[in-house]
Chain A
Amino acid sequence: MGRYLLQRLIATLVVLLGISLIVFFVLRITGDPVEAMLAGTTPTKEAIAALTHAMGLDKPLPVQYWVFLTGLLHGNFGNSIYDGESVFQLIRVRMAATALLAVTGLVLGVALSVPLGVLAALHKGRPTDVGVRTLSLLGISFPSFWLGIMLVLIFAVKIHALPVAGYGSWKNLVLPGVTLGIAQAGIMTGLVRSNMIDVMNEQFIQTARAKGLPARAVIYLHGLRNALLPVVTYLGLSLGTLLGGVVIIEQVFAWPGIGELMITSINRRDYPVVQGGAVILALFIVGSNLLVDLCYTLIDPRIKMS
């Protein structure tokens, strides 16, 4: 177990290092931030040189990467080139908005997909099942941002029940949260359904039935509990997809999250913010993958520790 843990930790570190490398070098070839900062003015050569020097951009690339990496290890993500604010602070504030949206979407997604998936599995092949499968097919077939726009059209434009966009009150959270929830449910319902069908065919379910347990107890205590295990794994592993979805939905609803911050920062060539944001997002994703892996090993000892 100790050895497995160590191996996974090293692999995780390698992945993170790789991500920091990609982010660093990709951004360095996208354009000169000094040019972007001085756009609109007619700077002298000296001014350009001074700014380049002040930001450390005149050092060789490997040195710049080293400064960036050692900074990360000290929790120092640098300051925004655009407004001088601490990158860590900027991301921390935005992360709260993103987390709020992501958690809301995830909770709604689970609340929709688990009952629907179980319902479909228990009525396999019958009209209920066909209905649920059609719904989940629809859910994975339209782009989430389109659903968002349609919800705005109905609930904000036509019946004025909710705000079009913005941030602050719970009313602002409803439309983006529901959009994300439905998008997640579209993916997860099919997963819950097929797992539930598999589990209900297992021998331990027949045993539970044979010993006279009420149907409800069989379904919930024995069936659902086992069917949800792979769903939990999926949830952990799909954090990247979830965050990707959040980035686009943030654009639809002008939600001041990390995705909105990063897209703005990329356009401003604000290197430190994009670097910090990408590394922190990747840290979350890789960390959750590691956690899921470890939890799964603890829950299911059949998984080899090699």
Chain B
Amino acid sequence: MLRHSSLVAGGILVLAVIICAIFAPHLAPYNPLVGHLADRLDPPSWVAGGSHTHFLGADAVGRDLFSRIIYGTRISLLVGFTSAAASAVIGTALGMFAAYYGGMAETVVMRLVDLVLAFPFILLAIMIVAILGPGLSKIIFVLAATQWAGFARIVRGETLSMKEREFVEAARALGLKGWRVMIRHILPNIASSIIVLFTIAVAVNILAESSLSYLGLGVDPRIPTWGGMLAEGQLYITTAWWVATFPGIAIMLTVMGFNLIGDWLRDKIDPKYRV
């Protein structure tokens, strides 16, 4: 029961976020980019003296927080999914390649993995953004460039054990080329681990994107992002608690959704952790 409840809870959270991202223009009561100075720092509607028009209050230039949080789902999901997918593809390809061929190829790939894992991610991100300038594609590039190593390490380990299995040896004995053995026979057998890693990577990347946006190294600051909203909110922490509170809750619920699904998948695959 408990196992399934985490899937249900995670599924509901993730689905809600996806719906917000797709139907943002229909769900958001206000334009997220336009502020009304008269509504500047209006408190949420349920607070004493709160706004009548802004459910979660308004920010420092009078923009509706609720609408901005709904639009914020777009960047979070886009960055989370695409960078996780890119790092999964790169990491899986390199990890399988290293394990399957061994020797020099393995040494080079694994030293590269060590290199990336040894480097503080945030530092690399800052340096890359400093060269290329901020922007959506650069953020995705930075995250993919730092996260593939995690995939490569796990995939290599799994491939090494698959390589010794009889069905793989049989495929090789039949004269199949290396890449065919990897794609047709090894990949389907390690796919479950990759899916678990992918789910966790989406969660990690959403958190990382919010960190970068918070540091001012994210996408165009005019686009509403949860991290950017938090950075703005911190400036008004003494007078307007809501500006820095709600975007954080949005991040937490989204990331938790992906983590819950990841947990459930891991339980399914590795019965050791079953309750």
Contacts and interface: CB of A to CB of B under 8 A. Distances in A.
Interface stretch (A122-130, A169-177, A215-223): A122-130
Contact of B122 (A11, A14, A247, A286): A247
B244 A149 contact: yes
A145 B251 CA distance: 12
Contacts of A57: none
A194 B273 CA distance: 7
Contact of A149 (B111, B123, B234): B234
A153 interface: yes
A248 B211 contact: yes
B252 A138 contact: yes
A143 B130 contact: no
B38 interface: no
B62 interface: no
A136 B63 CA distance: 34
B159 to A, nearest CB: 18
Interface in B230-271: 230, 233-234, 237-238, 241, 244-245, 247-248, 251-253, 255-256, 259-260, 263
A289 B113 CA distance: 13
A138 B249 CA distance: 11
A141 interface: yes
B256 A137 contact: yes
A281 B111 contact: no
B120 A130 contact: no
Given A149-B248, A153-B244, A198-B272, A19 B115 contact: yes
Contacts of A71: none
Given A14-B111, A138-B256, A141-B203, A262 B237 contact: no
B254 to A, nearest CB: 8
Pick the most buried of A15, A18, A146, A282: most chain B CB atoms within 10 A of its CB. A146
Interface string A273-296: 010001001100110010000000
Contacts of B252: 138, 141-143, 146
A202 B165 CA distance: 27
Contact of B111 (A11, A138, A289): A11
Given A129-B275, A281-B120, A137 B127 contact: no
Contact of A263 (B120, B128, B215, B273): B215
A97 to B, nearest CB: 16
Interface string A4-47: 00000001001100110011001101110000000000000000
Contact of B227 (A140, A143, A252, A262): A143
B123 A247 contact: yes
Contacts of B260: 137
B121 interface: yes
Q: Is the contact region of chain A dominated by helix, strand, or loop, or is it mixed? A: helix
B138 to A, nearest CB: 13
B215 A240 contact: no
Given A145-B211, A150-B245, A157 B237 contact: yes
A115 interface: no
B275 A141 contact: no
B219 to A, nearest CB: 16
A262 B123 CA distance: 8
B210 A143 contact: yes
Interface in A251-280: 251-252, 259, 262-263, 266-267, 274, 278
A140 B259 contact: yes
Contacts of A150: 244-245, 248
Question: Can you list the 10 inter-chain pairs with the closest CB atoms, starting with the nearest?
Answer: A146-B248, A141-B256, A142-B252, A141-B255, A244-B122, A125-B275, A30-B131, A244-B120, A18-B115, A286-B118
24 contacts: A14-B111, A18-B111, A29-B131, A129-B275, A130-B2, A137-B259, A137-B260, A141-B252, A142-B251, A142-B255, A143-B214, A145-B214, A146-B230, A146-B248, A149-B230, A244-B123, A247-B120, A248-B211, A248-B215, A251-B214, A267-B130, A274-B127, A285-B119, A289-B118
Interface of B: 2, 111, 114-115, 117-123, 126-128, 130-131, 203, 207, 210-211, 214-215, 227, 230, 233-234, 237-238, 241, 244-245, 247-248, 251-253, 255-256, 259-260, 263, 272-273, 275
Interface of A: 11, 14-15, 18-19, 22-23, 26-27, 29-31, 124-125, 129-130, 137-138, 140-143, 145-146, 149-150, 152-153, 157, 164, 194, 197-198, 240-241, 243-244, 247-248, 251-252, 259, 262-263, 266-267, 274, 278, 281-282, 285-286, 289
